[in-house]
Amino acid sequence: MKTLVFRLASLLAVLMVCGIQNPVQAQDNKVYTSNVDEMPVFNGEIGSEYDYVIDHYRRPAGAPEKVMNVEITFVVEKNGKLSNIEIGRQLRKTSQGFEYSPVPPSVKKEIMRILNAMPAWTPAKKNGKAVRYKEEFFLSVMERKTRDNEARETAEEWERKVRESKESGKVYEITDTPPSFSGGDKAFMPWIKANMKYPVKAKEKGVTGQVVLTFIVEIDGSISDIKIIRNTAPEFKAEFEAEAIRLVKAMPAWNPAKIGTNSLAPEKVRYRYTCLIAFK
């Protein structure tokens, strides 16, 4: 009997040394990739990890000014620290589309330095408890001054395109992707109802009507050239039209129309949109 007890104890010791875990321990160490109640977040704001890398990146000698779309994966541990950091390839845009290419070793080393020194994240949570979570994303690395110059040039280029689009006078009525209200069609009518100021006298008399308008959705989502094309109200026409125009002018920026079959870079264009606003 003593021999049997000794052997069982020895076997248990071996299992413990080999890292055999019970189901509770295994679940506790699970690395999630989805299905959590709260995602991990850095510095209290989604996306701030990108700014952190940009602010701390120091371009290695001989490295390109920008290294675009670098594959990065790591695990955010339950204490917020990063582990299992991996720097993959970069995804580059070419005349033929996109292709993968190696990241310069010196750039990989610099990214790894930044991630290893990164302050703790707020970990993912499931059922009120912190859990391990694997993050996977693409990151373009460059120094802050390069990023700021690029942002300024992009803004200037966008302003030029908006100006030239308006000056061209070309307006579409059929496109591959029509313009849409911010939040989509489901958000349109609730927004109208929430913001409508029904003409007081018309409401008192129970007058209803429909006002049909057209307007141009510019490539920056703003609205211009509002026109009334129909008004079914038997009276108080001017009041209904004035309120319909006010509503259109007050709308948040739309998602502009797009043309082109290249889904990677469709062209945004001006679009003549027809809209019905019902007063009832």
For residue 45, the SS3 value is coil
CA distance 126 to 131: 7
pTM above 0.85, yes or no: no
Please give the domain boundaries of the chain with CATH numbers for all domains. 20-142 (no CATH), 167-279 (3.30.2420.10)
Place of tokens 């959705």: 217
Closest CA to 74 of 21, 19, 35, 123: 123
How many other CB atoms are there within 10 angstroms of residue 27's CB atom? 10
- pLDDT of 18 higher than 50: no
The tokens for 200 are 């007081």
Q: Which amino acid, 156?
A: E
- pLDDT of 212 higher than 50: yes
Q: What per-residue string of b and e applies to 30-64 under the rule 16 or more CB within 10 Å gives b?
A: eebeeebeeebbbeeeeeebeebbbebbebeeebe
For residue 95, what pLDDT is reported?
A: 72
For residue 163, what pLDDT is reported?
A: 76
Task: Give the H/E segment covering residue 106.
Answer: helix 105-117
- pLDDT of 234 higher than 90: no
Report the range of poorest mean pLDDT among 1-15, 46-60, 209-223.
1-15
Q: What is the pLDDT of residues 130-170, one digit of tens each?
A: 999 999 988 888 888 888 888 888 878 877 877 777 777 78
Q: Which residues partner with 83 through β-bridges?
A: 75
For residue 27, what pLDDT is reported?
A: 60
Please, which contacts does 236-244 make with residues 24 or more away whose CB atoms are closer than 8 Å?
236/199, 236/201, 236/202, 236/207, 236/209, 237/209, 239/199, 239/201, 239/202, 240/199, 240/202, 240/209, 240/211, 240/279, 241/211, 243/196, 243/197, 243/198, 243/199, 243/279, 244/211, 244/213, 244/277
Q: What is the average pLDDT value for the chain, to the nearest integer?
A: 86
pLDDT band, residue 8 (cuts 50/70/90): very low
CA distance 247 to 277: 9
pLDDT band, residue 67 (cuts 50/70/90): confident
For residue 263, what pLDDT is reported?
A: 56
For residue 164, what pLDDT is reported?
A: 76
pLDDT band, residue 197 (cuts 50/70/90): very high
> Is the CB of residue 208 less than 8 Å from the CB of residue 267?
no
List of E strands, 95-248: 97-101, 124-126, 129-141, 209-217, 223-231
Top-ranked range on mean pLDDT: pick from 81-95, 111-125, 159-173: 111-125
Closest CA to 47 of 121, 101, 113: 121
What mean pLDDT comes out for the span 248-268?
Answer: 83
- pLDDT of 186 higher than 70: yes
pLDDT band, residue 106 (cuts 50/70/90): very high
Closest CA to 41 of 85, 74, 75, 80: 80
What mean pLDDT comes out for the span 54-77?
Answer: 92
The tokens for 247 are 């509503």
CB contact set of 189 (below 8 Å; sequence gap of 6+): none
Top-ranked range on mean pLDDT: pick from 4-18, 61-75, 120-134, 162-176: 120-134
For residue 4, what pLDDT is reported?
A: 45
The tokens for 142 are 């460059």
